[in-house]
Amino acid sequence: MFHYIIRRLLLLIPTVLGIVLITFCLFALVANDPARQYAGKHATPQVLASIRARMGLNKPQFALNTSAYRRTGHLSSLLDNQFCDVLFFRFPQSMQYEESVWTLFWRKAPVSLVIQMPVFLMSLGLTLVLSLLCAALRDRAFDWTVTLLAIVLMSLPGVSIYLVAQWLLGAKARIFPVAGWDSGFYALHYAALPVLVSIVAGLGGGVRFYRAVALEEIGAEYIRTGRAKGVGEMNLLLTHVMRNILIPVITSTVTTLPLLFLGAVILEQTFQIPGLGNLLDTAVLANDRPVVMFLVYITSILYCLALVVNDVAYAWADPRVVLQ
């Protein structure tokens, strides 16, 4: 297993490099001049040159920087170009906030995690419980009701659920704030409604998926044998069925963990939550290239690492899986 993990980690290098290269090329081909957008259309050439120098836009995009090499005489200066700056995490300041991208990340990531961690844990637990109960009570009133609600939730766009919850529970009932954020303990008051509606909005697909997986296991021969031997239904569900559906559970959960840092773009925009999802949305609209490239880079690394953890978790959950 150790050699497998090392090999997979080495394969991450070209994968992440390809993601960063594609993102960088898209910005180079599609985006307008960031310095011009930042300074305004009436900026003087001197101001534009100063901004380009501060943002590193006066460097070559991919070519070796021979002028810097002639000026300094160091071989490392040949790699002083825009793509290598991104590749080696030499990001300039954000154009919007005029702060380091690392500072923005560490300030806004906890905000996204305050929302996403409870949503992840509570959604996973509630989805598994409802799915197992639906599979155990197949074709009964409980199963029909939960399945119907799951189909309805799958059919509704998430943003419509957010807006209805804002209007009903925020504006009308005044149970929760409609939108906004606060610091410290008071943030929980603003986080309650986004967490609640995010759990509800994501419940449908999870229940349908895990219910189908659980039904397949409940119909297996070893479950019928367990019932014939007098094993209790709850014991069968929690000990045997639950263990054998770990593979699809791992597949659908482990790979979503890196995305918890990034937050939910639409959710944070709707509820005006100053997390990483909101930051990414505003950075794309403002052509804030350092922020977008940084977030893409970090997310791709975390996601690729999660795929490795996912494979290792397969081997832990099912001894029949051999990593070679």
- Under 8 Å between Cβ of 105 and 293: no
Task: Give the per-residue pLDDT at 323.
Answer: 66
Helix (H, G, I), strand (E, B) or coil at 9: helix
Average pLDDT for runs of 10 along the chain of length 324: 81 88 82 71 79 78 72 71 83 84 90 90 90 86 91 87 90 89 85 92 87 82 79 75 79 78 82 89 84 89 86 74 65
Helix (H, G, I), strand (E, B) or coil at 253: helix
Task: Give the per-residue pLDDT at 80.
Answer: 77
Task: Give the per-residue pLDDT at 202.
Answer: 86
Which one, of 205, 252, 230, 236, lies nearest residue 132 by Cα? Answer: 236
**Residues in Cβ contact with 200 at an 8 Å cutoff, skipping those fewer than 6 apart:** 153, 161, 165
**Residues in Cβ contact with 75 at an 8 Å cutoff, skipping those fewer than 6 apart:** 69
Q: What are the structural domains of the chain?
A: 111-317 (1.10.3720.10)
